[in-house]
Chain A
Amino acid sequence: MSEATPKLNHHSMTRAQVVDAYFMEHRARLLDVAAFLDRIDRAGPGVDDFRMNAYRNAIALLLDGKPERTRRILEHFSDPSTTPIPAAHVKGATGAHDPIGKVH
């Protein structure tokens, strides 16, 4: 089997250019994350379900200083099992793995 082709060898933007181009857009997205968490707080007492547990743990991955955050966050949300389930009782996906398996 062939190996994946290497990354493109020319960097189309400098670090400063990336910040110039994307900072405002991602400042807004960061505020959306904060507002989402505030909205949950305002909704009253309760406990996080498996989706929000995974979400809060994913935020920690953003700040661990390690590379490939996107890949690692996607893996964090993924079902870690490796064999087919006996039967599919729903068609949809929730966005995060349910470790108790209630959703299947």
Chain B
Amino acid sequence: MYIDPHVHMVSRSTDDYVHMARAGCVAITEPAFWAGYDRSSPQGFFDYFRQLTESEPRRAAQYGIRHHTWLCINPKESEDPVFAREVIALIPEFLKKENVLGIGEIGLNKNSRNEMEILEAHLQLASDHNLLVLVHTPHLEDKLKGTLLILDAIRRFPKLDPGRVLIDHVEEHTAKHVLDQGFWCGMTLYPDTKCTPQRAVDIIETYGSERIWMNSAGDWGHSDPIAVPKAQMEMRRRGHLESLVRQVTFGNPQRFLSQSGRFSAEPLRPTAPDITR
């Protein structure tokens, strides 16, 4: 049994839901992200937020998987602050939806001034509504700088408790910065970029198993929606206790996400498709 706390199922097929369910996935959380192209209007985000809060939970439920989500405009579409603020203005009405856990995945992409302005606007929204935050850290050569800028930015919002903020996509050069400041961290299991399952287990062995989780971040790119059970296999291969495997792939995400008051990983009987929709 496991939770995948970061996966973009709108980009995946129903076959992936079948594979995930068979591998033991009982719950997922899906942050709002970049679709691979820039939306042409805020209305495009309105429709996307409806997909995340209405249709995708129904699709997941057919496979016995509980679906939760996070809302934002992602940093790749934050270079136009006027446009981005129009999208952010749409978010409060969706916060009433029962599967919304918080704001995410916000953060930085190329570490630009406009991206920082919109990151701070999201942090203000989370602070005002006392929401959990899920943070995307930049890719590759931009990750270290971006992670440090993000940690500094969050500290400028004293009402945001680091224990309610998860910094995602950490690797060996950023995990300690995140954990030392009291934040949670996520490791993304990717075939080429970010962490392999082997390196993710190395990081757990190096920095410990508190305030840390693993996710597939499966999306429309080169990614693997059943990467978390592969990391479970890697832990077992090394002789780690089953209690530790369960802690980092189920207990830890459950503990962090339950702070929202809306997360559930209780068994869900697969539902029939709604043929009226």
Contact = CB atoms under 8 A, between A and B. Distances in A.
B53 to A, nearest CB: 26
Contacts of B179: 3-5
Interface string B198-214: 11001011111111000
B82 to A, nearest CB: 14
Interface string A83-97: 011111011111111
Nearest to B144: A78
Interface stretch (B2-10, B44-52, B237-245): B237-245
A1 interface: yes
B64 interface: no
A15 interface: no
B173 A75 contact: yes
> For this complex, into which size category does the number of interface residues on chain A fall?
35 or more
Given A5-B210, A75-B173, A84-B149, 6 more contacts: A1-B181, A5-B209, A79-B145, A85-B112, A88-B110, A98-B141
Interface string A1-20: 11111111000110000000
Interface in A18-53: 21-22
Given A7-B208, A90-B110, A81 B238 contact: no
Contact of B140 (A12, A22, A95): A95
A96 B115 contact: no
A68 interface: yes
B238 A13 contact: yes
> How would you classify the secondary structure of chain A's contact residues: helix, strand, loop or mixed?
loop
A70 interface: yes
Contacts of A77: 140-141
> How would you classify the secondary structure of chain B's contact residues: helix, strand, loop or mixed?
helix
Nearest to A25: B198
Interface of B: 34, 76, 79, 109-116, 138-145, 148-149, 162, 171-173, 175-176, 179-182, 193, 198-199, 202, 204-211, 237-240, 244
A3 B182 CA distance: 7
A71 B172 contact: yes
A93 B114 contact: no
A27 B191 CA distance: 18
B251 to A, nearest CB: 14
A7 to B, nearest CB: 5
15 contacts: A4-B176, A5-B210, A70-B202, A75-B144, A78-B142, A79-B141, A82-B145, A84-B149, A85-B111, A88-B110, A91-B34, A91-B109, A92-B139, A93-B140, A95-B193
B113 A87 contact: yes
Contact of A70 (B112, B140, B199, B209): B199
A77 to B, nearest CB: 5
Given A12-B240, A79-B145, A84-B149, A1 B180 contact: yes
A5 B237 CA distance: 23
A88 to B, nearest CB: 4
B144 A12 contact: no
Contacts of B198: 22
B205 A8 contact: yes
Contact of A8 (B113, B116, B149, B208): B208
In the complex, the 9 A-B pairs of residues with the closest C-beta atoms, listed nearest first: A5-B208, A4-B179, A88-B110, A93-B140, A74-B173, A93-B139, A88-B112, A12-B239, A78-B144
Contacts of A79: 111, 141-142, 144-145
